[in-house]
Amino acid sequence: MQVSIETTSGLERRLTVGIPADVVDQEVDKRLKDAAKTVRINGFRKGKVPLKVVKQRYGAGVRQEVLGDTIQRSFYDAVQKESVRPAGQPQIEPTQMEEGNDIEYVATFEVYPEVELKGLDEMEITRYDADIEDADVDTMIESLQKGQAKWETVDRASADGDQVIIDFDGKIDGEAFDGGSATKHTLVLGSGAMIPGFEDGIAGMKAGDEGSVKVTFPEDYQVEGLRSKEADFAVTVHEVNEQKLPELNDEFYTQFGVTEGGEEKFREDVRENMEREKQRAIKAKLKEQVMNALLEANPVDLPAALVESEINALRQQMVQQYGQSAANLDLKALLPDDMFKAQAERRTALALIISEFVKDKEIKADGDLVRSLVEETASTYEEPEQVVNYYYANEQLLAGVEAAALEEQVVSIIIDGAKVSEVKVSYEEAVKPSENK
């Protein structure tokens, strides 16, 4: 086998492979002889079909099979010989496949980039922490109450926090526009669900009132054609509803699993849940800082094939919310690549950097950590032990958990060697999600 390789651009490689004709011919003859022992052709007894007849009937198909197998096997041998790591599947271009001649093909593919880890010694990390005050617990309990609240119709002017049922009809320069009108629309004033200024214009109106609200679409509005445009909305208010919070009593506490101990036990449970949420948020922010620092210090050339694979994975995750209806959707049009590209590039770059770190430090997934991650996931199900057993019986699922464990171990090692500053913030600030995903 003759092999030559050249760099065409960046990470792209062009591999030319030549295979002697007799390698293919001998394998074709072998398979045809094996077939002759079992093949059935009218006019011949089983096992007595002449090889010439078998070749006439099946030769072309067998040769195609052998060519496919030979190319696949030889490509693997060639990249091993040249010590290159393909990223994604190659594009195979046959240049000589005629019977009786040596075989030749060209494989074009990308390789994994070389990653040289930098910036680990200079990394500065901020570890945030927060005390959970009684006022924080009060705020959380009020949030839980709002989750169980009911709406009651009131005969008064609407105010911030009220729910209104409205019709609206918007126009720009006297012309209607898509999405600018609705009937019996439910809106909570102060929620920020509408264009800035819209909810303010409705505050103070009562059921039966009609009015006009003037707003200007933001410069970064999602619909490009409406950006910075002034619009007039004719508004009719049908109902004004006031939020009624449930009382803090045993009935309310029972909904959250507290059947004994009353308010004291309920507040204790709420505080414990808040503490767990705080610890998760602190851990997530530490990880986010580490990942950002790794990306900043280690720019990586990204194989397009890996980015495309990550885009498809992200798209598939989003598709799951459509359920059975997804079968009838044009997913590429509905969820274009650009929608996921930035996140896919970030995830691909981090995967390459972390993989290099793991290899460089010879890190193995910690079994105890893997177990704890599996049990954490299983704890959300009715039969946790069955879920744990299912994970350990499924190599693919377990591999995903092991990858997550390795990532946690990498973050922990980096933090141990970084300059860490401790900063106290409010509970609200501590649990606020990171901007990067």
3-state secondary structure 5-46: EEEEECCEEEEEEEECHHHHHHHHHHHHHHHHCCCCCCCCCC
| pLDDT at position 325 | 60
pLDDT at 319: 81
Q: Does the pLDDT value for residue 286 go beyond 60?
A: yes
Q: What are phi and psi of 38, to 5 degrees?
A: -125, -15
**Please, what is the average pLDDT of the chain?**
91
Average the pLDDT over 62-88 and give the result: 93
pLDDT, tens digit (0-9, with 9 covering 90-100), for 406-433: 999 999 999 999 999 999 999 999 999 8
Q: Helix, strand, or coil here: 289? A: helix
According to DSSP, residue 323 is labeled G
State residue 33's pLDDT score. 87
Q: Rounded mean pLDDT of 34-54?
A: 80
- Give yes or no for residue 306 having a pLDDT over 60: yes
So what's the pLDDT on residue 44?
Answer: 79
As given in the structure block, the two tokens for residue 323 are 């359920």
User: What pLDDT is recorded for position 329?
Assistant: 66
Instruction: Label residue 435 by pLDDT band (50, 70, 90).
Output: low
C-alpha span between 156 and 208 (Å, rounded):
11
Q: What is the pLDDT of residue 321?
A: 72
Q: For the whole model, what pTM was predicted? A: 0.74
Q: How far apart are CA 433 and CA 437, in angstroms?
A: 9
| Greater pLDDT, 405 or 37 | 405
Q: State the Cα torsion 34-37-39-44 to the nearest 10°.
A: 140
Mean pLDDT of 304-320: 89
- For residue 323, what pLDDT band results from cuts at 50, 70 and 90? low
Q: Which pair of tokens denotes residue 339?
A: 């929608």
Instruction: Reply yes or no on whether the pLDDT at 168 is more than 90.
Output: yes
Average pLDDT over residues 265-271: 96
For position 333, what pLDDT does the model report?
Answer: 75
Mean of the pLDDT values across residues 320-328? 65
Report, as an integer, the average pLDDT of 148-169: 95
Q: Is the confidence at residue 48, as pLDDT, over 80?
A: no
Is residue 336 scored above 90 in pLDDT?
no
Q: Is 181 helix (H, G, I), strand (E, B) or coil?
A: strand
Retrieve residue 155's tokens: 């005969």
- Residue 292 burial (10 A CB sphere; 0-12, 13-18, 19+): middle
324 — pLDDT class (breaks 50, 70, 90): low
Q: Which residues contact 240 (CB under 8 A, 6 or more apart)?
A: 153, 154, 155, 156, 157, 158, 162, 163, 164, 205, 206, 207
Q: What is the pLDDT of residues 355-374, one digit of tens each?
A: 999 999 999 999 999 999 99
Spatial separation of the C-alpha atoms in residues 135 and 362, rounded to whole Å: 47
Q: Which pLDDT value is given to residue 9?
A: 87
Q: Answer for the pair 233, 198: CB distance below 8 angstroms, yes or no.
A: yes
Instruction: With cut-offs at 50, 70 and 90, classify the pLDDT of residue 140.
Output: very high
Does 437 have pLDDT greater than 60?
A: no
- Smallest Cα–Cα separation from 290: which of 119, 431, 114? 119
**pLDDT of residue 309 exceeding 90:** yes
Helices assigned H by DSSP within 37-172:
51-82, 134-147
Instruction: Give the C-alpha separation, 3 to 101, whole Å.
Output: 17
With a cut of 90, say whether residue 288 has pLDDT above it: yes
pLDDT at residue 327 in the model: 60
Which of the four pLDDT bands, split at 50, 70 and 90, describes residue 256? very high
Give the pLDDT score at 21: 93
Among residues 73, 109, 84, 83, the alpha carbon closest in space to that of 306 is found at 109
**Residue 211, both tokens:** 């009015």
Percentage of residues in the chain having pLDDT higher than 90: 78
* The one-letter amino acid at 26: Q
- In this prediction, residues 178-198 reach a mean pLDDT of 93
- The yes-or-no verdict on residue 228 having pLDDT over 70 is yes
What's the average model confidence in pLDDT over 84-91? 93
Q: Which residues of 373-402 are buried (b: 16+ CB within 10 A; e: fewer)?
A: bbeebbeeeeeeeebbeebeeeeeebeebb
Mean per-residue pLDDT, 133-154? 95
Structural domains in the chain, CATH included, are: 2-111 (3.30.70.1050), 150-244 (3.10.50.40), 263-431 (1.10.3120.10)
Q: Looking at 55-69, 70-84, 404-418, which range is the least confident one?
A: 55-69
